[in-house]
Structure 1
Amino acid sequence: MANYKIVISGYYGFNNAGDEAMLSAIIQSLRSTFDTPEITVISGSPAKTSWIFDVKAIPRFGMLPIIKSIFRSDLIISGGGSLLQDVTSWKSMIYYLSIITLGVLFRKRVFLYSQGIGPVRYRVIRIVLKHVLNHVDVITVRDKESKGFLERLGVKRRIYTTADAVLSLHPPKLEPGRAILDAEGIPADKKIIGVAIRRWEKKYSWTNDLISYINKIASLKDYAVVFIPMQSPDDRVASEEIAGNLAKENIFRLQGGYTLDELISIIGNCNLIVGMRLHALIFSALMRVPFIGISYDPKIDNFLSLIGLEPGASVQHLDAEKLYNKTCHILEHGMPPKVWDSVQDLQHYAGENANILRRFVETKEETR
């Protein structure tokens, strides 16, 4: 299986740590499956993606290069994350469906890799999604909710429930993260509560309650609160928007641009992560750092339910006092051991994405 030509589609090249981690996991599995695969990534920043991952990259809206790459390929991978949902944007969903449809029309092998699918609000998009996915080769999803949604939709292809592919990554060392925290002025004698928030335009009063919560945990003796940007510059902007209402003591905002391993290492140096960003929670799980999820999207609830947890709060209802009490409880007692057992199980299932891909390719090769 040398020189296999593979095109990967996803939300890459936008400085989103979760999606870049997903791409890293997919490329890792491809390089363990194929001999010298020729990988092309559709990216918002082709030069940066090419440099970081040592792959060919083409522009996200360069339709001619995309069509040429798909036509010349052996395999199309629609890669991970919440690509097929229309809550964030129905336009982006149509875009990703168009890439998959091109693969189907060109009679290429199409593999949906560790997807989180839904919600899909618009009936016409649900109809298109059903028909397109009934013509792909393999579908793996990261949670049972995604599988249930597709089955109710009428997708007849076999659907494998695995886990978020990011959990198959190898944890980085802690030293680089600690060095960054030192350089950013985070006191070495303080324990760290990392906060990973994002901008969310829907008008709830959650930001006022979040400010009250952060000010309260910043008053904890021996702790520092550190805002960790999972997507730059968006998350830094989110922290800046509330910074004027925060206490000045023991609250820090990381300012640098970090590699994926550096960011995971920073999270590994924390004592607790409080996050809206899904992959802030997944990175915490990977590094065995206790975490609390703030729900703004079903994907947060779905991940937490896989390991027997519920969100500590939501943007619809953020009770600062309740969240503070939960924080103190976890800082004192840690996470229940069964949570880490469940995380270990998910890491096994995450590795199954690569195994399913390998079996699929080998079977196709044998039937040629």
Structure 2
Amino acid sequence: MDGINVVNKKIMVASSRKKILISGGWGYANLGDDAILLSTVDLVKEKYPDSEITVMTYSPPETSGAITDPNIRIIPSIHRQLSGTASLKRLRVADLSKPLDQGANFQLSSFQKKKRKYLLRFQDFYFANRFELFSKFPGLVSSLNEFESADLFIQGGGGYFIEGWKDSFLSRILELKIAHEQAVPILVIGQSIGPITNARFRSLATKQLGYADVLSIRDVDSFNELTSYGLKPVLIPDTVLSKSDFDYIKKPILAILLGSQPLTETQLGLFYETVIKLPDLKNLQIRITVSRLWEADLANASKLFARLKSIANVQLIIPKSSSQLQDTLGECSVLVSQNLHGLILAWRAGCACVCINTKRKFISFMEQSGQSSRVSALADLTKEKLLDFINEAFQESFTERETRRNALSTKVKSQFYACLDQIWKS
């Protein structure tokens, strides 16, 4: 397998009880990324049943609610140590203890946007200096002993390795640096990386990702970008796709899952005009939901519900866990989604998808799942196009979709195990 770079790594003995340290994009109120963690843990436990697993997360209380195995240790991530709770404010994580004001507008005022802009600049400067300090003195990292005692470090997905979120980017760089300096074998799995336009960040990423024993990413554009840096990545679809043993009974339900970009009145009208034109609408249920518990996502869902609630059988469902999100989507026949893990969780449970996002990782997933004919940017959608996509999805052969779904699940699982085997052999 390509993507191998072994530098005086610790030797793992086949009979030993492995200590495995896992980090990734969890603890950010993103239910899809919680699903990545659960899938990663399940695969590791299947491969190494006696392993000792420690999970690093931005929010230990949140992740403790997602993981039910009491034998798995949960500790604060390096990102949490670098940034404190600042990223909760950056992402604008919602307070679910307060009632959702249906139709509320969470858009920032001009003054708030300006204030936020300067705050983020200050945070970036602050975190960059903390990164330099922690890089020079890794003993400042409270979880250093976790790296020292680990037999394997797994840096999982999803799309948090981006220069636009500097403290997240630098935290993941620091994880790789410490693991390398502690001679811990490294598996990077399920990442979307970049685009990285900043020369310094690109140099940091190239150096530290080059230390991975197996460097696996989930989308073609990340693969091509890292290859252009001289790295040798492996392309493996999202880890969440490894699971497919669901038994949901499909119902005539259309789900709509929205992102954080504020919906315009024109776009709200587009959804309304499309829904009222759906065939046999009186026997169809519409579910509006989210996969991230962020204020902006909830605001969009709330606004769309307010626009559609005059139509019979329209529901607003706010899941509070990845399992609740899976159940919400699993019964559906078709999903229209702006977010990647909405698409993935729905499709792995047998639901046909319409993707209204054309970012790099979305296109790769729709191609991997055989649904590339139903992809469009929201800005390019018309009522006619969206209606055609939805009707095509409802009419798609369930048997053919099941065949593709199970084949992709088997492929992802075997490739994940092959990565572990390759590190073992190395």
Q: Secondary structure at the match of 2:208?
A: helix
Per the TM alignment, residue 121 of structure 1 is displaced from its structure 2 partner at its CA by 2.7
Change (3 A) 1:202 1:228: closer
- Counterpart among 144, 153, 160 of residue 220 in structure 2: 144
In structure 2, what is the Cα distance between the partners aligned to 1:133 and 1:361? 15
- Counterpart among 243, 260, 271 of residue 169 in structure 1: 243
Per the TM alignment, residue 77 of structure 1 is displaced from its structure 2 partner at its CA by 0.9
In structure 1, what is the Cα distance between the partners aligned to 2:209 and 2:265? 35
Match of 2:135 in 1: none
Please state if 1:102 is matched with 2:178.
yes
Match of 1:182 in 2: none
In structure 1, what is the Cα distance between the partners aligned to 2:27 and 2:424? 31
Contact (CA 8 Å) 1:142, 1:163: kept in 2 or not?
A: yes
TM-score (norm 2): 0.73
Per the TM alignment, residue 10 of structure 1 is displaced from its structure 2 partner at its CA by 1.0
Per the TM alignment, residue 51 of structure 1 is displaced from its structure 2 partner at its CA by 5.0
Q: Which amino acid aligns with 1:281?
A: L
Q: Secondary structure at the match of 1:245?
A: helix
Match of 1:356 in 2: 418
The superposition leaves residues 53-78 of structure 1 with CA deviations (integer Å, 9 ceiling, x where unpaired) of 23211123136333332233221111
- Counterpart among 68, 73, 90 of residue 56 in structure 1: 73
Unaligned runs of 5+ in 1: 179-189
Contact (CA 8 Å) 1:173, 1:265: kept in 2 or not?
A: no
Please state if 1:68 is matched with 2:130.
no
Between stretches 308-317 and 292-301, larger displacement belongs to 308-317
Q: Which amino acid aligns with 1:200?
A: Q
Per the TM alignment, residue 95 of structure 1 is displaced from its structure 2 partner at its CA by 2.0
Please state if 1:288 is matched with 2:350.
yes
Q: Which amino acid aligns with 1:58?
A: I
Please state if 1:85 is matched with 2:162.
yes
The superposition leaves residues 257-282 of structure 1 with CA deviations (integer Å, 9 ceiling, x where unpaired) of 24x33432332211211111112211
Contact (CA 8 Å) 2:220, 2:360: kept in 1 or not?
A: no
Match of 1:194 in 2: 255
Q: Which amino acid aligns with 1:68?
A: N
Contact (CA 8 Å) 1:204, 1:315: kept in 2 or not?
A: no
Q: Which amino acid aligns with 2:413?
A: G
Per the TM alignment, residue 339 of structure 1 is displaced from its structure 2 partner at its CA by 5.2
The 5-angstrom pairing of residues 230-309 of structure 1 reads 230-234=291-295, 235-249=297-311, 250-258=313-321, 260-308=322-370, 309=372
Change (3 A) 1:147 1:233: closer
Contact (CA 8 Å) 1:6, 1:37: kept in 2 or not?
A: yes
Q: Which amino acid aligns with 2:178?
A: L
Match of 2:112 in 1: none
The 5-angstrom pairing of residues 172-187 of structure 1 reads 172-174=246-248
Q: Which amino acid aligns with 1:163?
A: P
Unaligned runs of 5+ in 2: 1-14, 83-140
In structure 2, what is the Cα distance between the partners aligned to 1:86 and 1:203? 28
In structure 2, what is the Cα distance between the partners aligned to 1:172 and 1:341? 14
In structure 1, what is the Cα distance between the partners aligned to 2:341 and 2:189? 16
Match of 1:181 in 2: none
Between stretches 11-20 and 191-200, larger displacement belongs to 11-20
The superposition leaves residues 104-145 of structure 1 with CA deviations (integer Å, 9 ceiling, x where unpaired) of 222211110122223223232122111111222111222333
In structure 2, what is the Cα distance between the partners aligned to 1:352 and 1:247? 45
Change (3 A) 1:109 1:229: same
Identity percentage over the alignment?
A: 21
In structure 2, what is the Cα distance between the partners aligned to 1:107 and 1:69? 13
- Counterpart among 204, 209, 225 of residue 286 in structure 2: 225
Match of 2:26 in 1: 12
In structure 1, what is the Cα distance between the partners aligned to 2:257 and 2:263? 18
In structure 1, what is the Cα distance between the partners aligned to 2:262 and 2:328? 28
Match of 1:185 in 2: none
Per the TM alignment, residue 207 of structure 1 is displaced from its structure 2 partner at its CA by 5.0
In structure 2, what is the Cα distance between the partners aligned to 1:23 and 1:81? 10
Q: Secondary structure at the match of 2:147?
A: helix
Per the TM alignment, residue 246 of structure 1 is displaced from its structure 2 partner at its CA by 2.9
The structure with the largest strand share of the pair is: 1
Please state if 1:319 is matched with 2:382.
yes
Match of 1:33 in 2: 47
Per the TM alignment, residue 247 of structure 1 is displaced from its structure 2 partner at its CA by 4.2
In structure 2, what is the Cα distance between the partners aligned to 1:9 and 1:73? 12
Structural RMSD (CA): 2.8
